[in-house]
Amino acid sequence: MSSSRTRRAVTASVLVLLALTLAATPMRTSAAGPAVGGIPYYPAPRSGAAMVYDPVDHYVLMFGGSNGANDTWTFAHGRWNELNESIAPPPRIGACVAWDAASGHAILFGGEAGGAGGPLLNDTWEFVHGNWTELHPAVSPPPLVWSSCAYDAEAGSLVLFGGSSAQNATTASTWTFAGGAWTLAPIHETPRLIPPRFGAAMLYWDLGDYVDMYGGQGNASSLNDSWQWISGQWQEINSGDPPSGRVLASVAYDDSAEYGVLFGGATNFSGSASSSTWILGANGRWAPARTPPGPSARVAGAFAYDAADGYFVLFGGSPSSTQLSPGLNDTWSYSGTNWTNLTSSADRPLPPAPTHSTSSVSPVELAALGIAIAAVAGGVCVIVYRRWRPRPPTSSTTSGSRNPPTPPPS
């Protein structure tokens, strides 16, 4: 055999071995199925995930939940994307998260480890530009789950209230977070003590320049009172005819149109879930939304206002407060007048792609490889083998309104 023919044979053998290696390489899979053929994949079903809008990178951020994973997802332009960060908080449900405008980071605190049934946590993490970093403040709140928090733009700090402690006690402490440090608010700064609670709805009401807190689960039953945190004090306020007692409801605020939205929740922690939508209007009072039916009844759905796309985003939750796992994995948008299901039947999670080994190569494929080797050895040509896989059909996702929402009547 001439030297040139020998080189061709060796080259062909290397190429064939490379093709076999690629065919045997496992494909990366996601808990909810891979993105194949342009079809987006969705987070796995869950409730109690932490969600907040990231105004720096212009997407909705979601972390963890009842599925027991510590996955981080972003949502923008009607599509979910899973981040592959090397460092992330441990898995948890019922963590508190808010965007700290002073530092330009999302701040996540506490929760229940492992999705449900694990120890309570009191670690603090920050997120920015796709990366998680654990903070180590000198003082921290005790381990808590289902505490409520929001950013107080007037004071330039996060406010955290209540939660359920490791002793299953409902708490009534107020903490603030600024400059990387937690501070316990003195009791004497609150003229009237607030009943302890967990799972309350909290948001910053821009028109009044205060943090607004509604409802939650008290020691004996759910609550439907409203409180404002302003100038370092809690004050009970008249919020009109608010929803009935509600715990683990989803709440978010549109600071461009200046109104808040509350959805779902349970009448009490062991009660039935709701599918009602309520609006916190310009007058600072709650009123039922004039909205056609939308998402099914649920508690602990992840909820945030997507400022880039101009609508509220709701993901998952659970039909029951007594069974938070596995939860739901539908995605909805709310425009201020209508709910839109962004999860079409064609976009539901695909089954995990199978991994491949050399034993999974079919006889036909091996025969094709043999033909390629023989042809090269005979000096005919060099064939680069590529394993064929069927391409799934593509589809589009039904999207919600991209226009800024119109606030309901006050």
Q: Please, what is the Cα angle at 403 between 309 and 292, to 5 degrees?
A: 100
B/e letters for 144-153, b = 16+ CB within 10 Å, e = fewer, are bbbbbbbbbe
List the structure tokens of 13.
Answer: 């053998």
Q: Domains of the chain (ranges plus CATH)?
A: 50-347 (2.120.10.80)
Q: What percent of the chain has pLDDT over 90?
A: 57
Residue pLDDT, tens place only, 232-243: 999 998 877 888
User: Which has more pLDDT, 28 or 259?
Assistant: 259
List the structure tokens of 373.
Answer: 């080797």
User: Which has more pLDDT, 96 or 32?
Assistant: 96
Which pLDDT belongs to residue 379?
Answer: 42
Q: How far apart are CA 160 and CA 26, in angstroms?
A: 44
pLDDT over 80 at 261, yes or no: yes
Q: What is the mean pLDDT of residues 94-115?
A: 96
pLDDT over 70 at 24, yes or no: no
108 and 125 Cβ atoms separated by less than 8 Å = yes
Q: What percent of the chain has pLDDT over 70?
A: 73
Helix or strand run (H / E) with residue 376: helix 363-377
pLDDT over 90 at 250, yes or no: yes
Which pLDDT belongs to residue 270?
Answer: 80
Which pLDDT belongs to residue 286?
Answer: 92
pLDDT over 60 at 229, yes or no: yes
- The per-residue DSSP string of 351-365 comes to PPPPP--GGGS-HHH
Residue pLDDT, tens place only, 316-371: 999 988 888 789 999 999 999 999 999 864 444 433 333 333 333 333 333 343 33
pLDDT class for 220, splitting at 50, 70, 90? confident
Residue pLDDT, tens place only, 282-318: 888 899 998 888 999 999 999 999 999 999 999 999 9
Which pLDDT belongs to residue 343?
Answer: 84
Which pLDDT belongs to residue 276?
Answer: 95
pLDDT over 50 at 210, yes or no: yes
Q: What is the mean pLDDT of residues 28-54?
A: 68
User: Which has more pLDDT, 379 or 44?
Assistant: 44
Which pLDDT belongs to residue 154?
Answer: 93
321 and 328 Cβ atoms separated by less than 8 Å = no
List the structure tokens of 234.
Answer: 């809690």
Residue pLDDT, tens place only, 4-19: 444 444 444 433 343 4
pLDDT over 90 at 127, yes or no: yes
Which pLDDT belongs to residue 191?
Answer: 52
Distances (CA, A) of 28 to 23, 84, 351: 13, 11, 12
pLDDT class for 37, splitting at 50, 70, 90? very low
Which pLDDT belongs to residue 348?
Answer: 44
Q: How far apart are CA 109 and CA 107, in angstroms?
A: 7
User: Which has more pLDDT, 281 or 49?
Assistant: 49
The DSSP call for residue 272 is B
